[in-house]
Amino acid sequence: MSRVLMKGNEAVVHGALTGGATHFFGYPITPASEIAQAGARYFTLSGRTFLQAESEVAAINMIYGASGAGARTMTATSGPGLSLMAEGLSYLAGAELPAVVVDVQRAGPGLGNIWPEQSDYNAVVKGGGHGNYKNIVVAPNSAQEMCDMTREAFALADSYRMTVIILSDAYIGQMMEPVDIPETVSHGVRKSWALYGDAESRGNLISSILMNPQLQSGHNEMLQQKYRDIESTVTDYETYETEDADLVLTAFGISSRISLTVVKELRKQGYRVGLLRPKTLFPFPSIAVRELAEAGKAFAVFELNYGMMADDVALAVNGISPVLRYNWLGGIVPTVKEVAGKVVEDLGRIAASKRGGAV
């Protein structure tokens, strides 16, 4: 195995190809373009397929076709492109087609700017398109995880027949770190439901239309059951120094990296602070959150949006412990000092409230 310095965005392509991806349909957008560029290079050189679509709308529909045809297929984009893909994502969910989509988040709404935000959380985690559906959402926070989570996403997508979204951000995508390139390739297998243009698959139908409300209802119940099932099988998170913590910073992606430094700095100064980092955002590690809340810990949810994941934390905590919101918007990434300052201030308040005051 060798370690290669590369951007998170390039690492995605290394993960994809070793995860058995064969078809990449791309469209350029900052700060995700390196994924399409690396895709164009490595998919083409390795005899896989890279095609630049005319739009994100076309890209996600090419994926619908390629996935329906049984291939392991992907695209990568950023916020404005994700908005354009909303319809396609809903169709993929309705037809239960596996797909992998990388969202390297930038600031919005609208054209916004190209600096990091995490404000696609609701669109990605709660659905984004129309109808009752979910995507599996994983949140890498290093170049290595951009590689590994993308690699694993293809098997995950195939086994649940769902879209897996790699929810990244401008910093995690643009940052270079050493990456251990996987040494094996995990290939997809023939799917009984897919279209191969042969006798065996002739009777297959890829569709999301069920005109009969009873049938549509049954289909939706089946999907919801699937989404409930994966809560126990797919949920992933990590904790750092939470055991004796009074306050648990809760963060994903780039904010979890900043949080790690904050926790280390504050621990040196004797503050009891820890970190909870969800690695899957759907399914969300609600049980882990709940257990920490039951152990009397307060939460400070640090995210580059207006408190989207904080809503999920609050839902899991259900009022038994304070949930504070640390939010920065517009592409502003706070310094370690700024975040640490808020934590220290809030730890003081929490201590005061335990003595009888209010947070």
Partner 1 sequence: MMTHTKPDAFYDTFERKGHNDKNTHYCPGCGHGTIHKLIAEAIDDLGIRDRVIFHSPVGCSVFAYYYFDTGNIQCSHGRAPAVATGVRRVHNDAVVISYQGDGDLAGIGTAEIIHAANRGENITVFFVNNAIYGMTGGQMAPTTLQGQKTLTTPLGRDSVRDGLPIGMSEVINALKTPVYIERVTLSSAKGVMKTKKAIRKGLEYQVDGRGFSFIEILSPCPVNWKMDPVASRKWLAENLEPIFPVACFRDSCTNSSAVISARAALEVSELTEAVESSPAASENAGHLPFMGDDQLISLLNGEIPLERLETIQLAEDQLVKIAGFGGQGVLSGGVLLAKCGIAESLHTTWLPSYGPEMRGGRAYASVILSNDEIGSPVVDNPNVLIAMNTPSLEAFENDVVPGGLILVNSSIVSRKVSREDVQVLYVPASNIAKEGGLTAAANVVMLAVYLHHTGKIPVERLKDIIPATVKRKEFVEENLKMIDRTLNYYDTHFRS
31 forms part of the interface with partner 1 (CB under 8 A): yes
Q: 143-160 vs 8-18: helix axis angle to the nearest 10?
A: 40
Q: Report the residue number, 95 or 287, with the smaller CB distance to partner 1.
A: 95
Query: Considering only 87-95, 155-163, 312-320, 344-352, which stretch makes contact with partner 1 by CB under 8 A?
Result: 87-95
> Which residue in the set 26, 68, 98, 108 belongs to the binding site for partner 1 (CB under 8 A)?
68
DSSP assignment of 310-331: HHHHHHHHTTSS-EEEEE--TT
* 8 Å CB contact between 145 and 103: no
Q: Which of positions 2-21 make contact with partner 1 (CB under 8 A)?
A: 2-5, 14, 17-18
* Cα 133 to chain centroid, rounded: 16
51 forms part of the interface with partner 1 (CB under 8 A): yes
33-41 contacts: CB < 8 A, separation 24 or more? 33/9, 34/7, 34/9, 34/10, 34/173, 34/174, 35/9, 35/10, 35/76, 35/102, 35/104, 35/173, 36/76, 38/9, 38/10, 38/12, 38/13, 38/14, 39/13, 39/76
40 forms part of the interface with partner 1 (CB under 8 A): no
264 forms part of the interface with partner 1 (CB under 8 A): yes
Q: Which of positions 91-110 make contact with partner 1 (CB under 8 A)?
A: 91, 95
Please state the closest distance from residue 341 (CB atom) to partner 1, in A. Answer: 13
Looking at residue 7, the DSSP 8-state letter turns out to be E
58 forms part of the interface with partner 1 (CB under 8 A): yes
189 forms part of the interface with partner 1 (CB under 8 A): no
Please state the closest distance from residue 259 (CB atom) to partner 1, in A. Answer: 7
Residue with tokens 């899957």: 280
344 forms part of the interface with partner 1 (CB under 8 A): no
Side by side, the strands of the sheet bearing 298-303 are 237-240, 273-278, 247-250, 298-303, 323-327
Q: Report the residue number, 84 or 317, with the smaller CB distance to partner 1.
A: 84
Q: Report the residue number, 124 or 262, with the smaller CB distance to partner 1.
A: 262
Please state the closest distance from residue 286 (CB atom) to partner 1, in A. Answer: 25
Q: Which of positions 112-151 make contact with partner 1 (CB under 8 A)?
A: 114
Please state the closest distance from residue 13 (CB atom) to partner 1, in A. Answer: 8
Query: Considering only 24-32, 293-301, 314-322, 351-359, which stretch makes contact with partner 1 by CB under 8 A?
Result: 24-32
205 forms part of the interface with partner 1 (CB under 8 A): yes
Query: Considering only 1-9, 152-160, 218-226, 283-291, which stretch makes contact with partner 1 by CB under 8 A?
Result: 1-9
261 forms part of the interface with partner 1 (CB under 8 A): yes
Tokens, residue 274: 């820890």
Number of residues that bind partner 1 (CB under 8 A): 81
Q: Report the residue number, 59 or 289, with the smaller CB distance to partner 1.
A: 59
Q: Report the residue number, 262 or 288, with the smaller CB distance to partner 1.
A: 262
Residue 135 and residue 122: Cα distance in Å, rounded?
11
Handedness of CA 166, 29, 26, 95 (dihedral sign): positive
Q: Which of positions 213-242 make contact with partner 1 (CB under 8 A)?
A: none
> Which residue in the set 110, 189, 190, 199 belongs to the binding site for partner 1 (CB under 8 A)?
199
Question: Is beta strand 298-303 parallel, antiparallel or unpaired with respect to 323-327?
Answer: parallel
49 forms part of the interface with partner 1 (CB under 8 A): yes
Q: Report the residue number, 71 or 300, with the smaller CB distance to partner 1.
A: 71
Residue 322 and residue 115: Cα distance in Å, rounded?
30
Q: Which of positions 276-315 make contact with partner 1 (CB under 8 A)?
A: none
* 8 Å CB contact between 151 and 162: no
Look at residues 192, 214, 196, 195 and name the one whose alpha carbon lies nearest to residue 206.
195
Please state the closest distance from residue 314 (CB atom) to partner 1, in A. Answer: 25
Residue type, 207: S
Other CB atoms closer than 10 Å to residue 121's CB: what's the count?
Answer: 27
